[in-house]
Amino acid sequence: MLVTLKQIAEELGISITTVSKALKEYPDVSKKTRKLVRETASLLNYKPNAFAVNLRTKESKTIGLIIPEIVHHFFSSVIKGIISQAEKKGYLVITLQSNESYELEKKQLNLLLSKRVDGILISLANETADFKHLTEITEQETPLVMFDKIAKVVKCSKVIIDDRKAAYKATAHLISIGCTRIAHFRGPLLPQNSIDRFLGYKQALTDHNITYDASLVYLLKDMSFEEGAFYAKQLLKDHNDVDGIFINTDLVAIGAISALTQMGIKIPDQINVVGFSNWFMSSVISPSLTTINQPGFQMGKKAFKILYKQIKDKKKNKGITYKEHILETDLIIRDSTKQ
C-alpha cells in the first residue's frame, strides 16, 4: 500500500504537520527532524501525494491533447514533440483521438475541461465546421492552442505551416520543369489545410498563365495508399495528356506512383509527381518522392511552448496575447520529378 504522511508521523511519534513541513524543508522544523523525516520517508518508500489538481495553486500540471488520428506518421510525430517538450516542463499529457468526428471532439473537450487540465492543444477533425465549442473555451480563459488543422475564425494561438505557400512552391516546381497539364489530388472539402493547398496550386497555375481546369482536380476521401492508386488510374483514363500531379499527402502519392509504375508509366519521364508531408518512406521508395517537408515534431514542440507561456501568463493574471506561429516548409526535390 502507499505510505501516507500519517504513517511517517506515527513511525516517528511527531505530528503530521511537522512531517509535512519537514518534507517541504520549512526552516521552523529543526535540521535534525527534517533529516529524520526525509530518511524515514525514503525508507518507507513514501511518494509525495501530488493530487492531479493542486488545491492551493489550482494547477493540475496536465494538459489535454485532441488529435484526429494517432496512427498517422505526421500526427504521431506531433504527439512525440508535444510530450517531449511537456515532460521537460513537468507537464503530463492526456491524449484523446477524435477520429475526425465533430461530436467526439466536442465531448472530449468537455471531458478535458471537467478534468481541470491547465490547457488544451487541438488539431481539428475534418468534420468540424462549427466552432462554438472552441470559442467557449477561450471565453472561459482556458489556454488553447490549435495546430495543423485549425479554424481561422477562432481567436486563439495557432501553430501552422503556410499550406498555400508550400502548395504554390510544389506546383511552381512542376511548372519550372516544363509541366503544363498538372493534376491535383486534393484533401477533403472542410479542413483549412486542404483548402489552402488547393488554393496554392490554383494560384501557381494562374501566375504562370496556365488555365485552371477543374476536371484535373480529384477529391480524396480517406487519403489512403489505395485511393492514390485508384485516382492515378482514373486520371489516366480522363486525361492522357497529364504531365504532372501535385498530391495532398505522401501516402496517397506513393499509392499513385505504385499504380502508375505498374501501368508502365515512366516517372518522372512521362509524369512528374510531387507529394506533401515528407513521410519517412518517401525518401526510400523507388523512385524517391519529391515532396514538401512538414515538420511534425517541431510543430508539436512549438505548440506546447506557446501553450506553456499562456498557462504561465494566466497565472500571473497577464492578458493572453494570441500568436500565430508559421513553421517553415521546404521543397525536397527527389527522383519523382525531372532534374
Binding footprint of its own copies on the chain (CB under 8 A): 1-2, 45, 47-53, 55, 60, 62, 70-73, 76-77, 79-80, 83-84, 87, 92-97, 110-111, 113-116, 136, 140-142, 225-226, 254-255, 258, 261-262, 280-281, 284-286
Q: Give the DSSP H/E element, type plus range, for residue 293.
A: strand 291-293
CB neighbour list of residue 56: distance below 8 Å, 6 or more residues apart: none
Listing DSSP states for 3-65 in one string gives --HHHHHHHHTS-HHHHHHHHTT-TTS-HHHHHHHHHHHHHTT------SS-TTT----EEEE
Least distance to its own copies, CB of residue 171, Å: 26
Cα separation, 2 vs 193, whole angstroms = 49
Residue closer to its own copies (CB basis): 68 or 244: 68
- Strands 244-247 and 291-293 turn out to be unpaired
Give whichever of 177 and 320 is closer to its own copies, judged by the CB atom: 320
Q: What residues form DSSP beta bridges with 95?
A: 65
| Residues 260, 265, 266, 268, CA torsion sign | negative
Distances (CA, A) of 236 to 105, 260, 264: 39, 9, 12
- CA distances to 21, 31, 35, 122, 214 from 26, in Å: 5, 9, 12, 41, 72
Least Å distance between CB 48 and its own copies? 6
Query: Quick one: 11 or 162, whose CB is closer to its own copies?
Result: 11
CB of 104 vs its own copies, minimal distance in Å: 9
Q: Which three cell numbers stand for residue 120?
A: 488544451
Q: In what order do the strands lie in the sheet with 217-219?
A: 217-219, 182-186, 244-247, 272-274
Q: Which is nearer to its own copies, 53 or 195 (CB)?
A: 53
| Rounded-to-10 torsion of CA 92, 98, 99, 104 | 150
- To its own copies, the closest distance from the beta carbon of 250 in angstroms equals 12
| Residue 44: φ, ψ to 5° | -85, 0
CB of residue 109 to its own copies, shortest distance in Å: 11
Q: Which of 210-234 are b and which e, b meaning 16 or more Cβ less than 10 Å from the residue's Cβ?
A: beeeeebebebeebebebbbbbbee
**Closest distance of CB 115 from its own copies, Å:** 6
Residue type, 68: P
Least distance in angstroms from the C-beta of 298 to its own copies: 13
Minimum CB distance to its own copies smaller for 136 or for 313:
136
Shortest distance, position 299 Cβ to its own copies, whole Å: 13
In three-state secondary structure terms, 330 is: strand
Is the CB of 83 or the CB of 299 nearer to its own copies? 83
Nearer to its own copies, 164 or 302 (CB): 302
Q: Which is nearer to its own copies, 85 or 171 (CB)?
A: 85
Q: Least Å distance between CB 83 and its own copies?
A: 6
Residue nearer to its own copies on the CB measure, 79 or 204: 79
